[in-house]
Homo-oligomer: A and B are copies of this chain.
């Protein structure tokens, strides 16, 4: 049976056109964009074309507001630490939320070790930040607000535009981690109003290991990598031309196909949500009913362990996730689920189902059949479940 990828959050497949573009880049074997000779010029052109495609995807005013990085995590670290270091003369206070990705949490934790301080605002039962809480958290020495655009575990989309109005008025730099949004849902940096936007190539079917950071012109930030004058002086190091080529092509396709992809994703979500009760009982859907990514369903199934389901489905060649791939190895319950009020037990029974253009309604139906069997098997051997059912 064909493998089914319902773990797009960890890895989306490369689109055929992206593969083609990358293979062509390998065969062309471009030179170093910094070289003065023709070989260098050609390489530089390839990188700048990709930059334009990415800038176009997010509606940046200037292509050079887009800096290529090595991952979404690389972008987030650059944004948060770069602003913190560059603005330490003004203050050392950062505002963030309780449900950020590990790259945000750990970048900020690192800064706390360097005498920065942090206010983390809570979220409601659907994982949404209240902009008023952000406004109230801002102090005289606040230099940065970092609130994610969409959550990687439950899909909740934050009121970024409203938060940006607050930060703009108070003249505070605003970063949003939009790694799971850019290229997946429409994302317009002009409309959003954030000064810094982190994103990555893989969520829109480009290669892993390449990301982007939008830096609005005039934003006070240091590079994380110092050295040569690559990326308009904002990130040193010879460019990952093959990866950047793939990201550029993927951005072009994401822009072109955004509408039809969204329709497809919403159909898959609709199938999943409407069919779920026909296969499993006693569960919570963790998604926000209104403000949520279209390609992610988070479900907490009672009396089972998500990790057992994951491994049993893996035997049937169906991939799902129980938490962000970046959090693998952590034994603690998800901070996101705890923040929206799930119990520890329910958090352990949570599965994140993420899908994409390559999935079909049949994939969803096969998944539902398999998970129904799996959950039954697990509940049958659960002493807790049997006790409660008595």
A277 at the interface (CB under 8 A from B): no
Residues of B within 8 A of A11 (CB): 30-32, 35, 39-40, 43
Q: Are A110 and B243 neighbours in the complex by a CB distance under 8 Å?
A: no
A36 at the interface (CB under 8 A from B): yes
A195 at the interface (CB under 8 A from B): no
A345 at the interface (CB under 8 A from B): no
Query: Chain B interface: which of A50-58, A132-140, A159-167, A203-211?
Result: A203-211
Shortest Cβ distance from residue A108 to the other chain B in the assembled complex, whole angstroms: 9
Give how many copies assemble into the complex: 2
Residues of B within 8 A of A238 (CB): 71-73, 200, 202, 208-209, 325-326
Shortest Cβ distance from residue A124 to the other chain B in the assembled complex, whole angstroms: 25
Q: Are B38 and A240 neighbours in the complex by a CB distance under 8 Å?
A: no
Q: Are B228 and A327 neighbours in the complex by a CB distance under 8 Å?
A: yes
Bound together, the chains give a CA A90 to CA B104 distance in angstroms of: 28
> Which residue of B is nearest A13, CB measured?
B29
Bound together, the chains give a CA A27 to CA B19 distance in angstroms of: 7
A311 at the interface (CB under 8 A from B): yes
- Please report A residues at the B interface, Cβ cutoff 8 Å: 3, 5, 7, 10-11, 13-14, 19, 22-23, 26-27, 29-32, 34-40, 43, 69-74, 76-77, 85, 101-104, 106-107, 109-110, 114, 200, 202, 207-211, 222, 224-230, 236-244, 307, 310-311, 313-314, 317, 319-322, 324-330
